[in-house]
């Protein structure tokens, strides 16, 4: 039964610098890096030694909690350096890429003949497992779980997000195979939500839902809540569409090809467009001469949930977007008093964004105020479509009340669901961090 998902509560943050639908395939650059911190909650155990050669798809490390979960190298080359931080924590595994890429051969599979266990084993050994995330807690799925359903959101509503209909064009075969494989892993259904002209619309073996509305309509939690909400004790899995393509290609060709189309967006790009690259690529090699020569904030991901990276840093493992916006490290005279025309707000407190609903803004990274205690009430609810009391849940996380977190719906949320409330927060509280720490505490205490 397909559901028509329509969201009213939310906020589209319209920014300058939408990517033009032109894709450039960038050549293999020299250094790639995989950062274990991209995989939340995973403690890495190294498999690849420094100076050893790896092929694309060969495991670099595995999870300490479960040695079946392997994390592959996106490129073939030589492991040149394992960068460690305090207490010898592994920060980066750097790989010097070969000029011509060697792929580990995992063998073509005809999934119609494979059992669920065989598919699981195949995804685990080929390093595709980390693409599967689970709810509750928004972490990498546990291989022993059987989810009640699997959700794919192919509707990107985040600011300047890559257009899935564009980046998935022509990938129907890979998507179909991947979805058929995943369907065997769940007792329930595979739900895909997108708009009606998505490449998913005609695929078989899935429940297709149409989505419309402002951000966070594209957040998978929003869709889960409308389709089949998570109850205590239930597990669902979540996979992003571009990772499905990688899984599909693995099943069809036996190769782990992590190539993905990444949107370069934001006001600081001279020509925002799409590039085809491998994850872990050096930011500098991707953005090249495309950036304005100013004080830029480069974000691997979108402005709401992405991570700050330097030009010497690397593209995040899951990210399909790089955003560059101006830094806002300057003072503003009477910034709290004067009428504001160049920033966004949901209030009308002499901020006039309500007058220009279609204007595109050039927002910078200024906090626009200082951190304060929670004061204003009723504002979060305007941008929060889940049937959850956002401030009460945040406070429960802050005072570590596990029972209350559970009762208020912590199983149903991911940090990204609190990005908009964080954006509009008058008190500038770090909502996503609070939720992440709350969920981590639940993992530790409840599991």
Partner 1 sequence: MGLKQNLHNLKEKYKGTKMAPAFGALHTFLYTPNETTYSGTHVKSADDLKRTMNIVIMALIPTLIFGMFNAGYQHYLALGEIEAVSSGFFSSEFWAWSNFIIGFIKILPLIIISYGVGLGIEFIFATIKGHEVEEGYLVTGMLVPLIVPIDTPLWMLAVAVAFGVVIGKEVFGGTGMNILNPALTIRAFLFFAYPTWMSGDKVWVHGAVERAGTPDAISGETILGGLAQGNDALIDGANNLWNAFYGFIPGSVGETSTVLILLGALFLIFTKIGSWRIMLSSIIGALVMGFIFNSVVDAGIITSGSKFYGLMSLDFWQHLMIGGFAFGIVYMATDPVTGSQTNRGKWIYGFLIGFFSILIRVFNPAYPEGVMLAILLMNVFAPTIDHYVVQSNVKKRLKRLKAKTA
Considering only residues 15 to 74 of the shown chain, the ones binding partner 1 according to CB under 8 A are: 15
Sign of CA dihedral 383, 386, 388, 392: negative
Of 249-278, binders to partner 1 (CB under 8 A) are: none
Pairing of strands 53-54, 77-84: antiparallel
Q: For the beta carbon of residue 18, count every other beta carbon within 10 angstroms.
A: 17
Q: Give the span between the Cα atoms of 31 and 80, in whole angstroms.
A: 9
Q: Give the span between the Cα atoms of 168 and 244, in whole angstroms.
A: 10
Count interface residues toward partner 1 (CB under 8 A).
76
Q: Which of 100, 112, 196, 231 forms a contact with partner 1 (CB under 8 A)? A: 231
Q: How far is the CB of 333 from partner 1 (least distance, A)?
A: 6
Which of 257/307 has CB closer to partner 1? 307
Q: Give the span between the Cα atoms of 373 and 429, in whole angstroms.
A: 8
- Sequence-separated (6 or more) residues with CB below 8 Å from residue 117: none
Residue 164 has which token pair?
């899935």
Instruction: Give the three-class secondary structure for 358.
Output: coil
Of 96-125, binders to partner 1 (CB under 8 A) are: none
Which of 65/349 has CB closer to partner 1? 349
Inter-CA distances, 135 with 9, 156, 173, 333, 422, Å: 22, 19, 27, 45, 21
| 227 belongs to the binding site for partner 1 (CB under 8 A) | no
With CB under 8 A as the contact rule, which of the stretches 128-136, 195-203, 270-278, 377-385 interacts with partner 1? Answer: 377-385
- Stretch 346-365: interaction string toward partner 1, x if CB under 8 A: xxxxxx-x---------xxx
If we measure between CA atoms, which residue out of 164, 365, 356, 333 comes closest to residue 267? 365
CB-based burial, 330-359: b 16+ in 10 Å, e otherwise = eeeeeeeeeebeeebbbeeeebebeeeeee
Q: Which of 2, 271, 372, 400 forms a contact with partner 1 (CB under 8 A)? A: 372
| 229 belongs to the binding site for partner 1 (CB under 8 A) | yes
Question: Cβ distance 10 to 420 under 8 Å?
Answer: yes
Instruction: Give the three-class secondary structure for 306.
Output: coil
Q: Give the span between the Cα atoms of 176 and 182, in whole angstroms.
A: 10
Q: How far is the CB of 291 from partner 1 (least distance, A)?
A: 16
With CB under 8 A as the contact rule, which of the stretches 73-81, 172-180, 253-261, 431-439 interacts with partner 1? Answer: 431-439
Q: Which of 343, 401, 440, 443 forms a contact with partner 1 (CB under 8 A)? A: 343
Of 383-422, binders to partner 1 (CB under 8 A) are: 387-389, 391-392, 407-409, 419, 422
Q: How far is the CB of 187 from partner 1 (least distance, A)?
A: 13
With CB under 8 A as the contact rule, which of the stretches 58-66, 108-116, 137-145, 429-437 interacts with partner 1? Answer: 429-437
Q: What is the DSSP letter of 137?
A: T
Q: Give the span between the Cα atoms of 67 and 321, in whole angstroms.
A: 30
Q: Give the span between the Cα atoms of 250 and 352, in whole angstroms.
A: 50
Q: Which of 65, 427, 444, 445 forms a contact with partner 1 (CB under 8 A)? A: 427
Q: How far is the CB of 419 from partner 1 (least distance, A)?
A: 6
- Stretch 278-317: interaction string toward partner 1, x if CB under 8 A: -------------------x-x---xxxx-x---------
Q: Which of 81, 163, 172, 327 forms a contact with partner 1 (CB under 8 A)? A: 327
The DSSP H or E segment spanning 248 is helix 241-253
Q: How far is the CB of 390 from partner 1 (least distance, A)?
A: 11
| 378 belongs to the binding site for partner 1 (CB under 8 A) | yes
Q: How far is the CB of 309 from partner 1 (least distance, A)?
A: 11
For residue 86, which phi and psi values (nearest 5 degrees)?
-60, 145
Q: Which of 23, 253, 257, 366 forms a contact with partner 1 (CB under 8 A)? A: 366
Q: Which of 424, 438, 439, 442 forms a contact with partner 1 (CB under 8 A)? A: 424
First and final CA of the chain: distance in angstroms? 32
Instruction: Give the three-class secondary structure for 73.
Output: coil
Q: Which of 42, 325, 414, 439 forms a contact with partner 1 (CB under 8 A)? A: 325
Q: How far is the CB of 306 from partner 1 (least distance, A)?
A: 7
Q: How far is the CB of 92 from partner 1 (least distance, A)?
A: 19
Q: Give the span between the Cα atoms of 211 and 203, in whole angstroms.
A: 17
| 215 belongs to the binding site for partner 1 (CB under 8 A) | no
Q: Which of 41, 254, 313, 328 forms a contact with partner 1 (CB under 8 A)? A: 328
Which of 246/299 has CB closer to partner 1? 299
Which of 226/297 has CB closer to partner 1? 297
Which of 5/225 has CB closer to partner 1? 225
Could you tell me how far CA 283 lies from the centroid of its own chain?
17
């Amino acid at each position: 039964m397909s559901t028509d998902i329509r969201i009213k509560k939310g906020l589209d943050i319209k920014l300058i610098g939408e990517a033009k639908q032109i894709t450039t395939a960038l050549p293999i650059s020299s250094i790639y890096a995989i950062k274990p911190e991209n995989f939340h909650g995973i403690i890495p155990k190294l498999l690849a030694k420094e100076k050893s050669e790896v092929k694309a798809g060969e495991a670099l490390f595995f999870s300490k909690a479960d040695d079946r979960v392997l994390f592959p190298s996106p490129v073939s080359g030589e492991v040149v350096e394992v960068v460690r931080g305090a207490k010898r924590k592994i920060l980066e595994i750097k790989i010097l890429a070969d000029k011509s890429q060697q792929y580990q051969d995992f063998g073509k599979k005809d999934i119609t003949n494979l059992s669920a266990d065989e598919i699981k084993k195949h995804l685990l050994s080929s390093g595709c497992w980390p693409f599967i995330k689970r709810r509750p807690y928004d972490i990498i799925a546990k291989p022993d779980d059987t989810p009640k359903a699997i959700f794919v959101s192919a509707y990107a509503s985040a600011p300047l997000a890559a257009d899935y209909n564009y980046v998935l064009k022509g990938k129907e075969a890979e998507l179909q195979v991947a979805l058929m494989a995943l369907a065997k892993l769940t007792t329930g259904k595979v739900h895909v939500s997108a708009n009606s002209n998505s490449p998913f619309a005609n695929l078989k073996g899935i429940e297709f839902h149409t989505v419309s509305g402002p951000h966070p309509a594209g957040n998978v939690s929003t869709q889960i809540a409308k389709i089949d909400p998570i109850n205590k004790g239930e597990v669902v899995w979540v996979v992003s569409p571009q990772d499905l393509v990688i899984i599909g290609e693995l099943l069809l060709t036996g190769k782990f090809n992590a190539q993905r189309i990444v949107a370069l967006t934001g006001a600081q790009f001279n020509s925002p467009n799409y590039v085809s690259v491998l994850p872990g690529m050096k930011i500098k090699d991707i953005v090249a001469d495309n950036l304005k020569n100013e004080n830029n904030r480069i974000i691997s991901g979108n402005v709401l949930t992405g991570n700050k990276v330097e030009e010497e840093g690397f593209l995040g493992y899951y990210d399909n977007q790089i955003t560059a916006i101006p830094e806002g490290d300057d003072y503003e005279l009477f910034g709290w008093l004067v009428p504001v025309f160049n920033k966004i707000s949901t209030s009308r407190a002499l901020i006039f964004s309500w007058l220009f609903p279609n204007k595109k803004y050039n927002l910078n990274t200024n906090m626009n105020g200082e951190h304060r205690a929670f004061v204003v009430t009723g504002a979060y609810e305007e941008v929060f479509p889940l049937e959850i009391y956002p401030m009460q849940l945040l406070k429960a996380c802050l005072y570590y009340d596990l029972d209350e977190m559970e009762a208020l719906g912590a199983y149903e949320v991911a940090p990204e669901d609190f990005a908009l409330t964080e954006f509009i927060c008058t008190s500038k509280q770090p909502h996503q961090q609070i939720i992440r720490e709350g969920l981590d505490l639940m993992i530790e205490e409840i599991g």
